[in-house]
Copies of this chain bind each other. A is one copy, B any other.
Amino acid sequence: MSKRERNAEQSRLDILVAAEAEFAGKGLYGARVDEIAALAGINKRMIYAYFGSKEALYKSVLQAVYKRMEAAEAKILEARLDGRDLIGAVIDLYFDFLARDTQFVSIIMWENLNKAAYLKDLPAQDLERPAFTYIREAIAAGKDQGIFRLELDEQDVALSLITACFANFSNCHTLSRLFGRDLCSAEQIEQRKIETRAMMLAYLCL
């Protein structure tokens, strides 16, 4: 086997990237440590040196994955939109993020099947979602401005929004089979985005 350059930081990163691909594809149980080592082009021993165990490696991957979502959501906070514009922008952002980052979708699903057992071990700080707070506040403001329905609860709307986006990606394979069209394709996803936007706005707006 060819020698690796000595670079602890790079090696750690290579392991994380390989592990994410392996965990996304096969889950915690199905993933093989030897496979991760081979994919990272590193010796298996280093995985144990850097991460300690397969489980600990998985937790690091989970953390990294949520960090990506947080980074994407930061754009929402920066844009400082409100009302209908904000809702549209949020849906665009989630659709684009989930369409691009299929490993994120897979790992979240695996974590759900695992009853979020490992997510629970993550420090609370890694789970704070400033974007959720911002969305809730914007909905409340929209109600005050008389553009959103008063009877709606901000938290419920935020939940509806996120679930409506996510399900298009988490279940696209089985639904493709059931509906007889490839829902994973870029065109179908674009269509789902338009549809989701229309649905959310019809629901929210007076």
Residues in A lying within 8 Å of B, measured CB to CB: 26-30, 106, 108-116, 119-120, 127, 129, 132, 155-156, 158-160, 162-164, 166-168, 170-179, 183, 191-192, 195-196, 198-200, 202-203
A175 to B119, CA, bound (A): 11
The smallest beta-carbon distance between A113 and chain B, in angstroms, is 6
Partner of A163, one of B113, B119, B168, B200: B168
23 A-B Cβ contacts within 8 A? A27-B27, A28-B30, A109-B109, A111-B173, A112-B171, A116-B177, A119-B173, A127-B177, A155-B179, A156-B191, A156-B192, A159-B175, A160-B196, A160-B199, A163-B164, A163-B167, A163-B175, A166-B171, A170-B170, A170-B171, A198-B203, A199-B200, A199-B203
Q: A175, B195: Cβ atoms under 8 Å?
A: no
Chain B residue nearest to A106 (CB atoms) is B113
Partner of A167, one of B26, B29, B155, B166: B166
Q: Which residues of B contact A171 (CB under 8 A)?
A: 108-109, 112, 163, 166-167, 170
Partner of A109, one of B112, B196, B199: B112
In this complex, the member of A162, A166, A172, A199 whose beta carbon has the largest number of chain B beta carbons within 10 angstroms is A199
Chain B residue nearest to A199 (CB atoms) is B203
Partner of A176, one of B106, B116, B178: B116
Q: B160, A113: Cβ atoms under 8 Å?
A: no
A195 to B163, CA, bound (A): 12
The smallest beta-carbon distance between A149 and chain B, in angstroms, is 8
